[in-house]
Amino acid sequence: MIRMIASDLDGTLLRKDWSISEYTIKIIKEAQASGIRWVTVTGRSDRGARPIMENYGLSCDYILMNGAEFRDTNGNLIKSENIDTDLARFVCEKLHRENLGFEINTDRGDYTTTMELAEYSDYLEDGYEKLFEEKHNIRKILVFCDDIPKIRRIKQQIYDASGLSVLSSFENNMEVTSQKAKKGIMLKQAMKHFGFLPEEVVVFGDGENDISMFQEFPCSYAMINGVDALKELAYRVTEYSNDEDGVAKTVEKFLKA
């Protein structure tokens, strides 16, 4: 019996233009009406994820920033994992030396060192050091870089030097969190919070940062448009892509079974 469905956003539930179809909205609401708990599991912060779902009239629980936060439908923080302050400073200094702008997600909001990300975060005119001086709890550090060899090199260097979780949602980005902040680990916490069992949970994902979910939960569906590493771990691969309502078409089969 399915009691919880956990779905990634980008590349999974969302289409390429970040929209959700009327059909997918209908299926999510039908699943919830049948008693299934819907959890959005994403690398985005609350500020980046909740407005998308609410814009389509959808209310659900959230695992955010790759597992750094678990929030309920009302936005209440249930559990969080922070990056060690010294390690967070090391990462910021490394990115600054590499001349990369980046976003910092904290317990008090989302901030950025580059105007390119200022649409989604507050621009740090005086630099990132302000966050350390004000003793913010840092949940995640995000960077985009279209120089793929460069971002891969930096990912490896940061992982080797810090032991932090260094993952990607896209080929051109890097997401740094605590090793305890992984989607699968936090989803397991949410599962226990609601009193469910692993076999009662279905997970959907498409990227590298979804791997931990697939390692923790046996009923895992990789999007047909997903990365090969995830497909190899999956119980099944969806017949349709994120642009073709792949999640909703799979869930509809569950509801009709």
80 phi, psi to nearest 5 deg? -145, 160
Q: What is the pLDDT along the chain (257 residues), one digit of tens a residue?
A: 999 999 999 999 999 999 999 999 999 999 999 999 999 999 999 999 999 999 999 999 999 999 999 999 999 999 999 999 999 999 999 999 999 999 999 999 999 998 777 677 888 888 899 999 999 999 999 999 999 999 999 999 999 999 999 988 888 989 999 999 999 999 999 999 999 999 999 999 999 999 999 999 999 999 999 999 999 999 999 999 999 999 999 999 999 98
Task: Round to whole Å and give the CA distance between 149 and 93.
Answer: 20
Query: Which of 144, 161, 177 is the last residue in one of the domains?
Result: 177
* Number of domains observed in the structure of the chain: 2
Mark whether 109 and 188 lie in a shared domain: no
Mark whether 10 and 25 lie in a shared domain: yes
Mark whether 143 and 93 lie in a shared domain: yes
Q: Which domain range does residue 69 map to? A: 4-80+181-256
Mark whether 15 and 96 lie in a shared domain: no
| pLDDT for position 117 | 72
